[in-house]
Structure 1
Amino acid sequence: MNKVTFFLSLVYFLFFNSITAQNILHVATIGSDSSGNGSESNPYKTLQKAEQKVKAGDTVYVHTGTYRNSDFNDGDIWGGENLLKITANGTATNYITFKPFPGDVVILEFDATYGVLIKDSSYLIFEGFDIKGISDNITQTEADDAWGLYIDKNDGQVYNLEDEIGISYPNPSPYKRGDDIPKISKNLTKPSYFSGKGIVANNSHHIIIRNNIVRETPGSGIRSNGSDYVTIANNEVYNCTFYTTAGSGAVTVAEAKVIPENDLFEGVKIILEKNYIHHNENRMVSYASSKDFLHFVIDEGTGLFLTRNLTYNHGYIQISNNISSYNGASGIVVHFTERVIVEHNTVFKNGTTNDSSAGGIGINNTDKLTIRNNISYAEPNHWAIGTLANPNTSLTVANNLVYNEDGSESISRNISTGWTEENPLFEDSVNGDFSLKSTSPAIDNGSTDGTQTTDYFGNNRDTSPDIGAIEFGSVLGIKDEDKLDAIQMYPNPTKSLLNINIKDANLEKGKIEIFDISGRLIQSKLITKDWIQLDLKGPIGIYVIKIQNNNSIIIKKVVKQ
């Protein structure tokens, strides 16, 4: 190659890469979709405008504020504009990213069918947002009154199922609770106001949904439907699925399919990991429009839910290192799904509202399923591990720790091996701390066949892994006992301000990080003096303080009241 050719090639390379280089687009409540250009000084006003401009490799930074769908609070219960619909596509080497500007807090509040709909999209990261539905604005009476309302898609008219089946919901008379009540199968639309979903990936692939809070959505918090290569990780999902009449879990994977169609990879492709799923429940009797009967019970509101995935022909789904607690139905359910690994999860006191005795890890029509190294602690009169329906073939159950509190219900249902019944001894389960006490029977008793090298907090598991989501010592662990004693942290509990005195701990040139109980980093601060004051601005609950330098890592717990 001569010098001229080389020079032209270099110019072309630099020019091409400048075109394809990552761009940053900004969105702010004070911005403008008409005159803004997406720069930090002249941002767009809506996320949807940024989505229309985004290209492979771009990052959309959203600045502090509350963003709502354009017709928010207009009184329409049937639909409305989604807050954000993403159809953009990145590439395998240039993901598109939507996230808050560093240090900013962004709330996406919606009352439509979806808060964020990711449809026909690929190679996308969506992270760091607070997604808020409107369940806290809905009363049980309002939801009950709307229970049977639907629009018949054939004629566009509004009908009420109560009139057709002859009941006055929630009273099933002349039927009784638990009956199968005949109805007509119809192609219909239910009011979306009572079933809005937080983040949904539909017909998409290579999607990462991580580090979000999803709360108060009437329907599912996070859902993947007809998608592949989806990772749902490090999210907190709570107070969801209250008012939907559709079969929903707080985090749901449904009707997964191989994308692209010729993909034959048989490894793990869909991952649900390190999520904190709690206090989600269903308060309504659900019914499917396609069925000619409804079963008059409350049986939805599962924490982590795999359903109707027999459409998924290649690849595994993995549920690992999650905490699923105080949900209405089971903590984890695998339903009509094949090739699944469920391991190192902590499932605690689920089954809060459902009519059945299910409340732990349940399976129904599965094949090639592994349930390993999980803790399942059930409510009284609920079983901790079991089959909801058969067949369940090629089932592996190993090294699980199960327990229920002095109930009359058997600890398991049709799964007789692969578990030990004993109290796992959590540190403070009442306040959401599921780390293990030093006397816990879960310590060092996990199977070494597990695939997880880290725990819920991202800390390494050793060669004798513990059962459950949290490896002993990873939250309250200490790598230097004398330095731990030298750190003074007060007041604890605190209402807001936390003082940390590290004068005698020799932790110079280090940093302090604050995590919430879900493992999400809340704030980080360099150590520049012996005394530091932190403002815990988040909600009440347990926080983890991590103090470290090159030589030591000290981890402490603080409670905000």
Structure 2
Amino acid sequence: MMIHGFGFLSLSASLVLPWALTGLVQEERITESLVKDVRQSSTVQEMPLPSRKLISAIPTATTYYVSGTGNDRNSGLTTSSAFRTIQRAADLTNPGDTVLIMNGVYTNKMKTGAVIEISRSGRANAWITYKAYPGDRPKLQHNGWHGVWIYNGASYIEVNGLEVVGNNRNITHAYALKEKYNTSNPLTNGNCISIDGRKNGHTHHIRILNNKTHDCGGGGIIAMGSDYVTVDNNEVFNNAWYSVFGCSGISLLNNWDYNNSKNYKMFVTRNKVYNNHMLVPWIENGKFQDGNGIIVDRSRKYEYRGRTLIANNISYNNGGSGIHTYQSNHVDIVNNTTFLNNQTPKSASGQIMSNYSDDIKVVNNILYSAPNKPINLNHKSTNVTFNYNLYNNNGFPVDAVGPNDIMANPLFMNASISDFRLKPKSQAINSGFRWNSLTTDVLGNPRVYGSASDRGAYEMQY
């Protein structure tokens, strides 16, 4: 089985954990207990926590305002003199600047363009921030290649609190199938948020926080050829339907080393990822084999040495895997809840899959699969740990079992309405492994609460 996660984004084709928000600047160091050897008793190794240096303010930084009722001839320096387009502000930004986006619907000017093209960089102590004005809910509606496009080596960028909506609702499945060989159609292949480090310099130090990205024919949130990327607390759904490139909800493709650190540098945390499906075959082989919730894809291309942390996510009802690694190394998949993924017919990749990968740790997760469908899968990977996970008993043999894995009903509060909190009698409560750097759960509640960590994304406060 070859499961890829392409989201080609050129015009011709297409956490955070609280401590991660303050410290993703240079050397990221963590304390982690690593459970080794899936069929033997666990051993514990400690490594230090990341730097928590605060990003200092820049005295000369400028705040620009953008509004759905603004005018690009305005100064953009007050709410009453706001710009009309986000691009007008983006073209003026310097290190340390903030763009506050007020209520309104923002669209792409050109049919093949983006709502925001970000090519100007901040600095390590002076990030450029694009965020919703306090209390407002701006919407970026696009039918081009990208809703937000970060490219040309742009770095030290934060995108926070935006809703990015693609073109899925404006086309039909029949139209998309007619376009299944067309690599140049943004109507079917457009992505919501693209971090594109493939040309004119690699992108690095990017934070994608608290956004809602949905209904894009391509990927929901994609980072390519990048490093030090944080994707935290986003809601990512109804993406990857119509692209010919085999996309997913959240995709880290071809991770690239900004420095020689072997510690955590890529973070996918606290996201809610669902209903990302592949409804058009991948142009490379004519198969329906992506539409994953979260995928770390082909990080071996640049021999990426940093670690990736995928933690506290809820991934459900996606076409492919809930969480997937393909040709990638050094990934820790910890305290996630995956539910009824593999929605695509004949998909057999399991709720969590390690595929042609190495040094993968799958710990403290809940994996709930449909009757007689694979629960997890370790396919031609090496140095893979599955341990302290909970699997539902669905009549299908578990592919990889650790000494502390259990098979039980997780007793979700109400899975029919996507409430994956745990009832008091769940065996997932107080039975997990203490992963020292995870101090909160998906809601920000303290982890650990009780005698041991809970399994899954929620740490119940019983």
The TM-score range, normalised by the shorter chain, is 0.7 to 0.9
Identify the residue that residue 127 of structure 1 maps to in structure 2: 160
Contact 2:69 2:104 in 1 (8 A): no
Q: Report matched runs for 1:441-460 at 5 Å.
A: 441-449=427-435, 451-460=437-446
The separation in 2 between residues aligned to 1:227 and 1:418, in whole angstroms, is 35
State how far apart, in whole Å, the 2-side matches of 1:38 and 1:449 are.
Answer: 45
SS at match of 2:341: coil
Q: For residue 39 of structure 1, what is the amino acid of its counterpart?
A: T
1:251-266 equivalences in 2 (<5 Å): 251-259=250-258, 263-266=259-262
1:107 is aligned to 2:103: no
* CA distances 1:239-279 after superposition (whole Å, capped 9, x unpaired): 111111212111000001012xxx12111000000000011
Q: Aligned runs of 1:203-214 on 2, under 5 Å?
A: 203=197, 204-214=203-213
Distance across 1 between alignment mates of 2:435 and 2:79: 50
If asked which structure has higher relative contact order (CA below 8 Å, sep 6+), I would say: 2
Can you list the C-alpha shifts for 1:265-299, whole angstroms capped at 9, x where unaligned?
A: 111000000000011111111122xxxxx2x4321
**Going by fraction, where is strand more abundant, 1 or 2?**
1
Pair 422,37 (structure 1): closer, same or farther in 2 beyond 3 Å? closer
Distance 1:45 1:423, change over 3 A: same
Q: Are the equivalent residues in 2 in contact too, given 1:108–1:132 (CA < 8 A)?
A: yes
What do you get for the CA RMSD once the two structures are aligned? 1.8
Structure whose alpha-carbon radius of gyration is higher: 1
Residue 22 in structure 1 maps to residue 61 in structure 2: yes
3-state SS in 2 of match to 1:70: coil
Alignment TM-score, normalising by the size of structure 1:
0.68
Q: Is the alpha carbon distance of 1:280 and 1:396 closer, same or farther for their aligned partners in structure 2, counting shifts above 3 Å?
A: same
| 8 A Cα contact 2:354 2:360, kept in partner | no
State the AA in 1 paired with 2:97: D
Percent of residue pairs identical: 31
Q: Does 1:269 align with 2:265?
A: yes
Q: Report the counterpart of residue 503 of structure 1 in structure 2.
A: none
Structure 2 unaligned regions, length at least 5: 1-55, 198-202
- Does the CA-based 8 Å contact 1:350-1:378 persist in structure 2? yes
The alpha carbon displacement at 1:18 in A equals 11
Which one-letter code corresponds to 1:469 in the other structure? A
Deviations 1:354-406 (A, max 9, x none): 4222230011111111110000001123111112x31x22222210101153x
Structure 1 contact 281–301 (Cα < 8 Å) conserved = yes
CA contact (8 A) 1:402 1:411 kept: no
1:364 to 348, 355, 363: 355
Aligned equivalent of 2:456, options 453, 459, 468: 468
TM-score by length of 2: 0.83
Q: Distance in 2 between matches of 1:381 and 1:216?
A: 30
The 3-state SS of whatever aligns with 2:327 is strand
Deviation at 1:82, TM superposition (A): 1.2
Q: How many residues align?
A: 398
SS at match of 2:174: helix
Q: 1:404 to 1:135 in 2, by over 3 A?
A: farther
State the partner residue of 2:24. Answer: none
Does the aligned pair in 2 maintain the 1:210–1:233 contact within 8 Å? yes
What secondary structure, in the 3-state scheme, does the structure 2 residue paired with 1:25 have? strand
Match of 1:250 in 2: 249
Distance 1:418 1:18, change over 3 A: closer
- 1:86 matches 2:86: no
Give the Cα separation in 2 of the matches to 1:330 and 1:236. Answer: 17
Distance across 1 between alignment mates of 2:247 and 2:393: 25
Shift in alpha-carbon separation, 1:312–1:230, aligned structure 2, 3 A: farther
Structure 2 CA distance for partners of 1:442 and 1:43, relative to 1, 3 Å? same
In structure 1, list runs of 5 or more residues that go unmatched.
1-16, 73-79, 150-188, 289-293, 478-561
C-alpha separation in 1, matches of 2:401 and 2:312:
22
Per-residue displacement from partner, 1:318-362 (whole Å, max 9, x unpaired)? 100000001011100011111111000000000112422223001
Task: Give the 3-state SS of the residue equivalent to 2:81 in structure 1.
Answer: coil
Partner of 1:46: 85
Q: Deviations over 1:15-62 (max 9, x none)?
A: xx9984221101112222234444322121111110111111111011
CA displacement 1:400-450 (0-9 Å, x = unmatched): 101153x4xx24235565522111110011101110000101011101245
Out of 100, 116, 132, the position equivalent to 2:148 is 116
Residues 1:384 and 2:417 are matched in the alignment: no
Deviation at 1:312, TM superposition (A): 4.2
Letter of the aligned partner of 1:231 in structure 2?
T
TM superposition shift of 1:199: 0.5
- For residue 122 of structure 1, give the secondary structure of its aligned residue in structure 2: coil
Q: Does 2:187 align with 1:193?
A: yes
Write the distance in 2 (CA, Å) between the matches of 1:349 and 1:241. 18
